[in-house]
Amino acid sequence: MTGRNRATARELSQRYIANGDPMGWFEVLYATAESDLSIIPWADLAPNPNLVSWLEQQDMDGAGHNALEIGCGLGDDAEELSRRGFDTTAFDISPTAISLCCRRFPKSTVRYIVADLFKTPGQWVNRFDFVLESYTLQVLPSNLRKRAIRHMASFVAPSGIIVVIARGREPGEPEGQMPWPITRQEMATFKDVGLTELNFDDYMDNEMPPVYRFRATYQRK
């Protein structure tokens, strides 16, 4: 994430949050970046290495299972899940983002859908064997996170799992600027809404400079 891209995204998020529309800036950012994808600060145009390393560790084969990606952005992670055999659905609140996914991957088997996390189809409740939440919570204001986590957890089928990847921070550390790192206490909301924590990793990633990450797996028993 370059300084220029970070500044653009932060300015948009601050403006829309101040106007009472904390989700509205995503479409504006993607629409602005439609002719220059480098404007999107989290768009590496490749699968998230923090996801790929987890999939490799688990020797993950999605054949016979379905998957949902929350806030799919430009689609690289959804395509990775599909490549590993998952019957994959991916959604984003930004119509432009979904349009870009379809243009980037015209032969994709992923179902790309425009949807608001807080207004998703009722048939998605308890439906998915594998749910991916990567970097969405960290771009939501803290007052929306518990509600967001409840919705994210609701997608997980019985015996299914959700993998959550986010910037982390220790209790008492300042939240800083968007993307806002989250605390382990906030992550514990996944357990509060009925999921079981299978694994929780905290580590410095390989970015330059390195970023403190959380990567956790929760299951609906």
Q: What pLDDT is recorded for position 2?
A: 46
Residues of the chain above pLDDT 70, percent? 98
Structure tokens at 106: 């015209």
pLDDT in tens, 198-209: 999 999 999 889
Averaged over 54-69, what is the pLDDT?
A: 98
Beta-carbon count within 10 A of 206 CB: 10
Please state the domain extents for the chain.
44-219
Q: Read off the pLDDT of each residue in 165-189 and give the average, rounded to a whole number.
A: 95
**Average confidence score pLDDT of the chain:** 95
Residue 137 pLDDT exceeds 90: yes
**What's residue 20's pLDDT?**
96
Residue 40, CA distances (Å) to 26, 61, 67, 205 in order: 10, 30, 25, 20
At residue 36, the pLDDT reads 87
Residue range 44-219, CATH number:
3.40.50.150
Mean pLDDT of 1-30: 88
Give the pLDDT confidence score for residue 145 in this predicted structure: 97
Single out the residue of 219, 217, 185 nearest to residue 201, CA to CA: 217
Query: What crossing angle do the helices spanning 95-104 and 25-32 adopt, rounded to 10°?
Result: 40
Question: Does the pLDDT of residue 121 top 60, yes or no?
Answer: yes
Q: What pLDDT score does 4 carry?
A: 58
